[in-house]
Structure 1
Amino acid sequence: MQRRQFLKLTSATVVASVAGTLVSRVSAATGAVSASLSQPTNAAAFAAARRYADLPFGKIAYVARGAGDAALFLHGAPLNGFQWRGAIDRLSAYRRCIAPDFMGLGYSQIPEPQSLAPSAQVAMLSALLDSLAIGKIDIVASDSGGAVAQLFLARYPERVRSMLLTDCDVEPDSPPPKVKPAIDMARAGTLADATAKWLTDKALARSTFGAAVYRDPSQFADETIEYYVTPLVSSPLRRTQYHAFHMALEPNPLAGIEAALKRSTVPVRIVWGASDDIFAQADAHYLDRTFPRSQGIRLVPGAKLFFPEEFPDLIAEEAKRLWRVT
């Protein structure tokens, strides 16, 4: 066989092999997503997947699914990592998805003296990532988790690959006025008792909290209410920490952060609920102006604060676009 013919045949074989590998990977990812969507993660499955990292901050609860580059999902209050179950179902074929529970919320077990302030949450997340041998991350964040995401970016810019922010605190609006009554109740020691009532009166949970933060509060299922509320009121210590988490939202934890955000080189996408009356649309425009590499704003008609839980397809679509995966 002549050398030229050999090279042509060899090149064709390599191309075919690479193409076959790519097709196999795409098929595997598509199959993994299809399987996840056919069996969406419920509360029992999420609880079964929960793991704990023993850190100096305490036993940090988290759920991890997928492989490869890591994505960190940061929840709002009074929720926990379960908020992101639908998004993780759709994105774990493309990323190693990590959904921790913040200290003072969810199922993380924190010793009494530990600070629960947003700055301490940032340090905890860094330690969690170190324990999991994760360097750089894509962040997906909501509500008070968005405040922690911004603080994490300011403190560890080299660890952030991209950031997807939904309705959340910004420096000029942190905490927003409609969150202050919850902070006042925490100071008065009544917030945990009020929240505990949702366990025995699910209709109350849907008509109050649910109506305020979900487009369709009827979908705020009993098992979801129980998964969110049960750990918050499970002991006197947990009730105290639930209050402490909220009290740490004042004074403004984002004060002075704007300069660091303006220096950021990280691509940021902003997806905002158009009917959220807790975090104003002006906050989304502030973020868009502040981040030099903002990828713009997507307003979601009819969506309220915790729309990522209701519209996981939308979150997955925006995350994949930001991550440049298909």
Structure 2
Amino acid sequence: MSALAAGVVAGCASRVTAHDAAFAGSGGVREEAKNWNAQRRFLTTRFGNIAYTDRGSGQVALFLHGFPLNSFQWRGAIERLSPYRRCIAPDSLGLGYTQVAEGVHITPATQVQMLIALLDALSIRDVDIVANDSGGAIAQLFFTLHPDRVRTVLLTNCDVENNCPPPAVIPVIDLARKGRFAEEWLAPWVADKHLARSDKGLGGMTFTYPEKLADETIDMYLGPLVESPARRALTNAYAMGLAPNPLAGTEPLLRQSQKPVRIVWGTGDTIFSPNDAAYLDHALPRSQGVRWMEGAKLFFPEEFPDVIAEEARRLWAV
């Protein structure tokens, strides 16, 4: 039996259909972006001024976004989960609206240090983590290095030790090292939203329904990353920080972890495969199995916030 088939038997499979997608129309996204920008907070740390959103009350859920996105990725899930948790979603160093301090070396390990500083400053002891893409790599480092700070983990398509960085990301890292990634990939997508939604753009590569990706969403994600030479350099720095393998040596720590983990995985992803989900499921002793999202691509958590909310509430038992 293949790893995918075994996971479907052990967990559950969900078929992705067009009516499930949670993308608002252009007007709705425009209002969402306006509200998100208005409610953004900043907290000064030694890593810089960290941009984050903070909604709800009670125990804290920490949302870690993918690359090249920012916390706006989690707006739908946070709307659904803020009645049950205080939802904190920071923008990673080098991405979104976080202002990075001079001299900070941007790596997943540094992101973990920043998150600890952020939580300490907010007097937050422990969290439930929800993560996607490179945010999932950061999550694995976080809960293996600081197990006392984590209650549960919900992982979606993301890096794993034996696929980090994945082959599809190597050209991005190579261009970033030449100082060309932000200029040659992201800037054209900001200028031409049809290109951004095409098979050669962010939408076609990583969204299940790229035609539903609003202009305003593209601007929210990519606009800040190319607005100045300094920001483009930080974007390139984020990509460069993904190599060498930041998860090297984590498997023994994963096998020792006693944190409850649930995995939700899109099978249409061309960057991370179902084998990566199976790896996590087998490596984590308290994995609660895999929910397969048939045909969904890398950034499906934005498109299907109801699924994220459903799985998070089940994991949290609320």
TM-score by length of 1: 0.87
Pairing 1:147–2:137 present = yes
Work out the percentage of aligned pairs sharing the same amino acid.
58
Structure 2 match to 1:75? 65
Name segments (4+ residues, structure 1) moved above 4 Å. 38-41
Distance 1:128 1:219 in 2: 34
1:298 aligns with 2:288: no
Once the two structures are TM-superposed, the CA of residue 312 in structure 1 deviates from its matched residue by 0.3
CA RMSD of aligned residues (A): 1.3
Equivalent pair of 2:57/2:82 in contact (CA under 8 Å): yes
Equivalent in 126, 129, 132 of residue 119 of structure 2: 129
- Counting only pairs closer than 5 Å after superposition, residues 1-326 of structure 1 correspond to structure 2 as 42-194=32-184, 195-207=186-198, 208-325=201-318
Residues 195-226 of structure 1: per-residue CA shift (max 9 Å, x gap): 11112200000002201111110111100000
Residue pair 1:276, 1:305 contacting (<8 A) in 2 also: yes
State the secondary structure of the residue aligned to 1:226: helix
Match of 1:42, SS?
Answer: helix
Q: Secondary structure at the match of 1:98?
A: strand
Higher relative contact order (CA 8 A, sep 6+): 2
Q: 1:223 to 1:201 in 2, by over 3 A?
A: same
**Cα drift, residue 47 of structure 1:** 0.6
* CA shift for structure 1 position 40: 10
Q: CA deviation at 1:76?
A: 0.3
| Offset at residue 145 of structure 1 (A) | 0.2
**Counterpart Cα distance in 1 of 2:223 and 2:202:** 15
Q: Is the 8 A contact 1:261 1:290 kept in 2?
A: yes
Amino acid at match of 1:263: Q
Distance 2:30 2:147 in 1: 34
How far the C-alpha of 1:234 sits from its partner, in A, is 1.6
Write the deviation string for residues 168-196 of structure 1: whole angstroms up to 9, x where unpaired: 00000000001111111111211111211
For the residues of structure 1 that align with 2:31 and 2:62, how far apart are their CA atoms? 18
Query: For the residues of structure 2 that align with 1:309 and 1:189, how far apart are their CA atoms?
Result: 29
TM norm structure 2: 0.89
Please give the alpha-carbon distance, in whole angstroms, between the structure 2 residues aligned to 1:149 and 1:222: 29
Q: CA deviation at 1:273?
A: 0.2
1:54 is paired with a residue whose SS is strand
How far apart, CA to CA, are the structure 2 residues paired with 1:40 and 1:190? 30
Q: Is the 8 A contact 1:183 1:247 kept in 2?
A: yes
Deviates more, 1:187-196 or 1:260-269: 187-196
Q: Distance in 1 between matches of 2:180 and 2:44?
A: 31
Letter in 2 for 1:197: P
Q: Structure 2: which amino acid aligns with 1:286?
A: Y
Question: C-alpha separation between the residues in 1 aligned to 2:287 and 2:78?
Answer: 24
Q: Which amino acid aligns with 2:59?
A: D
1:117-153, Cα deviation, whole Å (9 max, x unpaired): 1100000000000111111100000000000000001
Structure 2 unpaired stretches of 5+: 1-27
**Matching residue's letter, 1:45:** N
- Measure the CA separation in 1 of the matches of 2:270 and 2:224: 27
Q: Could you tell me how far 1:112 is from its partner in structure 2?
A: 2.8
Return closer, same or farther for 1:40/1:292 CA change in 2, 3 Å cut-off: farther
Q: Within 2, Cα distance between the matches of 1:214 and 1:223?
A: 15
Amino acid at match of 1:133: S
Aligned residue pairs total: 288
For residues 89 and 262 of structure 1, the distance between their equivalents in structure 2, rounded to whole angstroms, comes to 33
Q: Tell me, in whole angstroms, the C-alpha distance in 1 between the residues paired with 2:30 and 2:309.
A: 14
Whole-Å Cα distance in 1 between the matches of residues 252 and 305 of structure 2?
32
Question: After alignment, is 233-242 or 169-178 more displaced?
Answer: 233-242
- Which structure has the bigger radius of gyration? 1
Paired residue type of 1:230: G
Shift of 1:83: 0.3
